[in-house]
Structure 1
Amino acid sequence: MASRDQKQAGGGFFSSIAYSLSNIGTAMHKSVNGLLGYEGLEVINPEGGAEDAEEEAQRGRWKQEDRDSYWKMMQKYIGSDVTSMVTLPVIIFEPMTMIQKMAELMEYSHLLDLADECEDPYMQLVYATSWAISVYYAYQRTWKPFNPILGETYEMVNHGGITFISEQVSHHPPMSAAHAENEHFIYDITSKLRTKFLGNSVDAYPVGRTRVTLKRAGVVLELVPPPTKVNNLIFGRMWVDSSGEMIMTNVTTGDKAVLYFQPCGWFGAGRYEVDGYVYNAAEEPKILMTGKWNESMSYQPCDMEGEPLSGTESKEVWRVAALPENDKFQYTHFAHKINSFDTAPRKLLASDSRLRPDRLALEKGDLSKAGAEKSSLEERQRAEKRNREANDHQFTPRWFGLSGEVTTTPWGELEVYEYNGKYNEHRSAIDASEIVPEVSTESIEFNPWQYGNLTTE
């Protein structure tokens, strides 16, 4: 197993990251320089073929003239963080925002329910880590989500007894916070994605803090995910790969799970594969975990050398759910559920992502209207910022606040936002009221600015 080999070699988180990034280049690639005249750009074929680089280069979603103009616009950003760029064409977007995408981690939330119900501390980590891996199937979509407007929110109910709220808490740098809760667990995340644009690819580093509290078990888990690379942005068939270590730590007991995401190698070797161990606080392996992040995960008790215990069998703990056929945006059934109003609560906040006119237009296939609405929202956001600065006001999120805690991640420090509890009060008051009028969601105008809560500095 790769994880076991690294452990024996004295590798750790940072060494495995370096190993991963150096070996991601082992995916078979061929320069398109001379094929299309774009020096330095490469087409990387995940299946490892070398003879079809030119064919791959022509399989991008762009027309030739689109590629020309896009490349002229983007080449000046090579080596830069492009997370907050707002000038990207709507053709590369999916009808979902980043704070909606955060909710996709809730699809297999029953795994956290099982972790909370479980008495075995090592199986708690098996369930919780499988939950963290389960979202990667959805993360391999190659469309870009919309950047949320400052103050934009997303609410979700009617799924596993969960109440979910996310909010865009900062515009520069772009930061989001989310809170989810049911009878078994509490989930909190502060997310600040950092990227590095490389021309025909982009590296994405998840500068964030994810914390899960299991209520019955009384333990706190923290997650550090691996980085992700999006290949063939302009030329070739776009595809996504994640490589490196995922670490889930039980901060209450010191136990942890360390799983290694294999980089895609020659002829697709190793692509999607994940393996690793659940360790006790003394760093002794207790459970072996293997699988593929786009398919399933299994576990098996192991000995002190990391070998499966005799007389035991590998048991499946998670498998990706059935998928829609030929879906335009490669959505899962749950992704469609996130976008629908079936998961919206009564009296939906006007700042909710579902109501964005650019997202709605793109969902209906009207790219022209989607582009115009996107530009309008971005200009309105810039105008709001000018007005706020002119009046010496400071934006304050409605549902989250700075905790004062700064956490260190492998890719930089992060100011942590914490849930303030006010959304529970807001939702409880509405749910308890019998006079809340039924309002058609189509009649609600998207408006994140009314929840700015501007205060004088």
Structure 2
Amino acid sequence: MGSPKKNESKGFFASVSSSFSVFSNAMHRSVNGLLGYEGVEVINPEGGKEDAEEEAQRGRWKQEDRDSYWKMMQKYIGADVTSMVTLPVIIFEPMTMLQKMAELMEYSYLLDRADESEDPYMRLVYASSWAISVYFAYQRTWKPFNPILGETYELANHGGITFLAEQVSHHPPMSAGHAENDHFAYDVTSKLKTKFLGNSVDVYPVGRTRVTLKRDGVVLDLVPPPTKVNNLIFGRTWVDSPGEMIMTNLTTGDKAVLYFQPCGWFGAGRYEVDGYIYNSSEEPKILMTGKWNESLSCQPCDPEGEPLPNTEMKEVWHVADVPPNDKFQYTHFAHKINSFDTAPKKLLASDSRLRPDRYALELGDLSKAGTEKTSLEERQRAEKRTREANGHNFTPRWFDLTEEVTTTPWGELEIYQYNGKYSEHRASIDNSGSIDNVDVKSTEFNPWQYGNLSTE
């Protein structure tokens, strides 16, 4: 808030605006004190100058950058901006969408517990808690890099899991992923659909997520809620995911239906999740409640959804400790995702860690990151022209396009299936007994399939 002189120099309307800001802040403190919500986060759906200044202090995104970005983006209002717009590197985080997919593995122990559980309803409690746990990471407001066609990401050294994701299509952008350990197999085909609304963007997860619990062969299907990124350009950017998450046991017909509360003024309802585990006859068996940024708990219930007598609420999941004042609001696990410590031996040259734009941004060199990002995008377009001139189509290496097309709440989806070749590739490396002394960080990023094939 400026001094009277500053307000005077800015004119009458600026002065009035500042006065409203003083009133709003005072009302915030008073209401919080009266209601006992001291320190609660106030969300202003309209944004505001002070919110924008606070956002600029928290990161790289200054208001003058937002103003020029707004001029560029106005013509895209109402459109899907998933891959049609070249975005400035200043709004990115040093992670790709493939790595973002891997963040679901942070609390993979919940899937282990689901597999070990003999109670069919507790299986869904653990599995749906796993699906919700990633939303703590999804509240970050920086944008991940769009993967280059053929780009991959590998994760090892975490809970006995082997994780692989590959960018299988560029238009529309689609990724496929597979993860596996002794307890479960995870398979996803991901295609995001967006709608740019000016100062916000709606994100629709046109994807399919399946988890197979190995002990009994139970197959779980996940349909997440849509997400809204608010105050993209004006005000402090924040993320909300109001709506239902449904996880269905395709083997038995049981399901979890959990409702993400929308965020209101003064932060009312934000983060809150409530719902039930239902049997195949749609009778509630277990109630679930909590906050996706803190913890989730469950309790057995009667057919009316009320807690059973002589039972207690039991915590199922609690968010792990996070680094204080982290530049990119990363969790410890997010840092592991970028680390080469979680990379397998003889990392694929197409791996996201090796992207020069991502790595430059991680080191804080925005200028180099922007230059490298432009170079990669130009190279991707050039490779496409060469491939098409030769009459060749791109073929994913580790996933196969099936004939299956599934219907989602937001559109039709072609399904990619893990083909098992990566497991064979890794087994051949592990059985070779050779030690790779090459500095993996010096490996040139190489996702190109045509005209510049990787030799690994």
How high is the TM-score relative to the length of structure 1? 0.88
**What's the offset of the Cα at 1:347?**
0.5
Give 1:445's aligned residue. 444
Amino acid of the structure 1 residue aligned with 2:374 = S
| Higher RCO (CA < 8 A, seq sep 6+) | 1
Does 2:133 align with 1:138? no
Corresponding residue SS for 2:207: strand
**What's the offset of the Cα at 1:64?**
4.0
Structure 1 residues 58-94: Cα deviation after superposition (integer angstroms, max 9, x where no partner): 4444434322321111000001111114511101000
Kept after mapping to 2: 8 A contact 1:60/1:234? no
Give 2:432's aligned residue. 433
The aligned runs of 1:321-360 (5 Å cut-off) are 321-360=320-359
Give the greater-gyration-radius structure (CA). Answer: 2
Structure 1 residues 10-66: Cα deviation after superposition (integer angstroms, max 9, x where no partner): xxxxxxxxxxxxxxxxxxxxxxxx87xxxxxxxxx9614599833224444443432
Give 1:18's aligned residue. none
Give 1:379's aligned residue. 378
How high is the TM-score relative to the length of structure 2? 0.88
The aligned runs of 1:51-200 (5 Å cut-off) are 53-61=48-56, 62-200=61-199
Cα distance in 2 between the residues matched to 1:53 and 1:175: 35
Corresponding residue SS for 1:449: coil
Structure 1 residues 299-348: Cα deviation after superposition (integer angstroms, max 9, x where no partner): 00000000000100000000000000110000000000000001000000
Give 2:201's aligned residue. 202
Gaps of 5+ in 1: 1-33, 36-44
The aligned runs of 1:6-85 (5 Å cut-off) are 47-48=42-43, 53-61=48-56, 62-85=61-84
Report which stretch shifted further, 68-77 or 201-210.
68-77
**What's the offset of the Cα at 1:450?**
4.2
Cα distance in 2 between the residues matched to 1:324 and 1:60: 19
Cα distance in 2 between the residues matched to 1:202 and 1:50: 13
Give 1:14's aligned residue. none
Amino acid of the structure 2 residue aligned with 1:54 = K
Corresponding residue SS for 2:114: helix
Corresponding residue SS for 1:435: coil
Corresponding residue SS for 2:397: coil
Cα distance in 2 between the residues matched to 1:116 and 1:453: 43
The aligned runs of 1:232-247 (5 Å cut-off) are 232-247=231-246
Distance 1:425 1:150, change over 3 A: same
Structure 1 residues 403-423: Cα deviation after superposition (integer angstroms, max 9, x where no partner): 211111110010010000000
Cα distance in 1 between the residues matched to 2:338 and 2:62: 29
Structure 1 residues 258-307: Cα deviation after superposition (integer angstroms, max 9, x where no partner): 00000001211110000000000000000000000111000000000000
Distance 1:168 1:309, change over 3 A: same
Give 1:407's aligned residue. 406
Percent identical pairs in the alignment equals 81
Gaps of 5+ in 2: 1-12, 15-27, 29-40
Cα distance in 2 between the residues matched to 1:86 and 1:150: 16
Kept after mapping to 2: 8 A contact 1:166/1:176? yes
Structure 1 residues 405-443: Cα deviation after superposition (integer angstroms, max 9, x where no partner): 111111001001000000000001101111243211122
Distance 1:100 1:50, change over 3 A: closer
Corresponding residue SS for 2:172: coil
How many residue pairs end up in the alignment? Answer: 412
Corresponding residue SS for 1:394: coil
Distance 1:116 1:59, change over 3 A: same
Cα distance in 2 between the residues matched to 1:170 and 1:240: 26
Cα distance in 1 between the residues matched to 2:447 and 2:413: 24
Cα distance in 2 between the residues matched to 1:149 and 1:48: 35
Report which stretch shifted further, 56-65 or 336-345.
56-65
Give 1:212's aligned residue. 211
Cα distance in 1 between the residues matched to 2:47 and 2:228: 22
Cα distance in 2 between the residues matched to 1:452 and 1:79: 38
Give 1:312's aligned residue. 311
Does 2:297 align with 1:298? yes
Give 2:9's aligned residue. none
Structure 1 residues 185-225: Cα deviation after superposition (integer angstroms, max 9, x where no partner): 00000000001111111110000000000000220000000
Cα distance in 1 between the residues matched to 2:351 and 2:134: 22
Kept after mapping to 2: 8 A contact 1:259/1:276? yes
| Structure 1 vs Structure 2 CA RMSD | 1.8
Distance 1:55 1:423, change over 3 A: same
Corresponding residue SS for 1:276: strand
Cα distance in 2 between the residues matched to 1:386 and 1:451: 10
Amino acid of the structure 1 residue aligned with 2:190 = S
